[in-house]
Amino acid sequence: AVILALESSCDDSAAALVTSDRQILAQAVVGQAERHAPFGGVVPEIAARAHVEILPDLVRQVLAEAEIEPGEVDAIAATAGPGLVGGVMVGLLAGKGLALATGKPLVAVNHLEGHALSPRLSDADLDFPYLLLLASGGHCQLLEVKGVDDYRRLATTIDDAAGEAFDKAAKLLGLGYPGGPAIEKLAKEGDPTAVPLPRPLVGSGEPHFSFAGLKSAVQRAVASGEHHPADVAASFQQAVVDCFVDRTRLALEASDAPSLVVAGGVAANQSVRGALEQLATDYGRVFSVPPGWLCTDNAAMIGWAGAERFAAGKVDPLDTPARARWPLDPEGEKVRGAGV
Ligand code: ATP
Ligand code: FE
């Protein structure tokens, strides 16, 4: 099947054409960083309006590039949440319009399921179940991925998300947004042991993540003026990696899933990838991580999740709502507002 996919949950507008046999026929991502830069963060209203401007051209572009007529696609996949709800509505409504116009079914995709299933797009050998570290701009969770639409959450963050921690640390260091790539670049010139920083919850039997205390410590280190920025960046990155490894080790001990996977924007980080791969090896698990471009937001992962859902017969009505909050697991669904 051929899936036309749209992504608009944050500040990246994206469209893609993906097949159920893992071909990416065409894809395009347009970031909005320069539109939000003057405000020091993503402005929801600006993001929503930018998606309106950008998405139609991207849809035309991917169809033209793949030489496919709209009527030739088998389903339309669109992100229906979680995210900035104005932007989600723009992409979802565009998807509904395309579904109506073509008479093809709509597949409403959870953006987090897009991240969670993305390793199966890049790795045809990755079977369910697998243990997933989902580290992104808004989330930091350990999940057992048992199948499409079938998740068990083992851990989440009690305060900041992993990508959020990178973005805040970058801001404190006067680096641009998004902070993750900027920190990674600067960290290459620094000493990861130079600045003593905390590793919240490391060694604790509690399974969760916490990054707020680490951010405060970075703030103090920067304010002290005693450290080279590259050393702060390298030490911060190392602290996050140490937290990932320790928390994921706990999850590995609680799960007999044969594979360990890391996905989400922070999984684009080389140090994170390297450390998690080593951990998987130590625990005798197969390791899989998507290429960097598939870790940060894109529509290919939404198309792939759409293909998996479509194959399972999961299509959605045209009155499907856009959701600001949409946990992957049934437990998260019950606890409103609790670190999901
Ligand atoms: P969510 O998926 O939770 O809704 P999001 O879609 O905004 O959030 P992603 O696009 O998945 O987030 O990831 C973006 C985040 O990843 C940003 O916080 C960014 O700083 C971080 N990030 C991107 N590249 C890197 C990198 N090389 N190293 C560390 N962090 C990175
Ligand atoms: Fe994302």
141-179 per-position pLDDT tens digit: 999 999 999 999 999 999 999 999 999 999 999 998 789
Starting at the edge strand that comes first in sequence, how are the strands of the sheet with 286-288 ordered? Answer: 150-155, 140-147, 130-135, 259-263, 286-288
214-240 per-position pLDDT tens digit: 999 999 999 999 999 999 999 999 999
Q: What gap in Å lies between CA 269 and CA 30, rounded to an integer?
A: 21
Query: Does residue 74 have a known ligand-binding role?
Result: no
Tell me the CA–centroid distance for residue 74 and ligand 1, in Å: 30
Residue nearest to atom 12 of ligand 1 (CA): 137
Tell me the CA–centroid distance for residue 141 and ligand 1, in Å: 13
Query: Does residue 179 have a known ligand-binding role?
Result: no
Index of the ligand 1 atom closest to the CA of residue 295: 11
Q: What gap in Å lies between CA 226 and CA 79, rounded to an integer?
A: 45
C-beta 237 within 6 A of ligand 1: no
Selection from 21, 24, 26, 50 nearest residue 37 by Cα? 50
C-beta 181 within 6 A of ligand 1: yes
C-beta 268 within 6 A of ligand 1: yes
Would the ipTM clear 0.85, i.e. be above it? yes
Please count the other Cβ atoms lying within 10 Å of the Cβ belonging to residue 149: 13
Q: Which residue has 């989330």 as its token pair? A: 139
302-333 per-position pLDDT tens digit: 999 999 999 999 999 999 999 999 999 988 87
Q: What gap in Å lies between CA 15 and CA 68, rounded to an integer?
A: 14
What single-letter DSSP state applies at residue 104?
Answer: P
Residue nearest to atom 1 of ligand 1 (CA): 138
Selection from 308, 294, 337, 273 nearest residue 110 by Cα? 308
259-268 per-position pLDDT tens digit: 999 999 999 9
Query: Does residue 51 have a known ligand-binding role?
Result: no
Selection from 269, 205, 196, 270 nearest residue 226 by Cα? 196
Q: Which residue has 């594979």 as its token pair? A: 259
Q: What's the confidence (pLDDT) of residue 338?
A: 44
Q: What gap in Å lies between CA 90 and CA 96, rounded to an integer?
A: 10
Pocket test of ligand 1: the residue of 10, 29, 211, 276 to mutate, having most ligand atoms within 8 Å of its CB, is: 10
What does pLDDT average to over the chain?
96
- Indicate if the pLDDT at residue 293 is higher than 70: yes
Residue nearest to atom 18 of ligand 1 (CA): 163
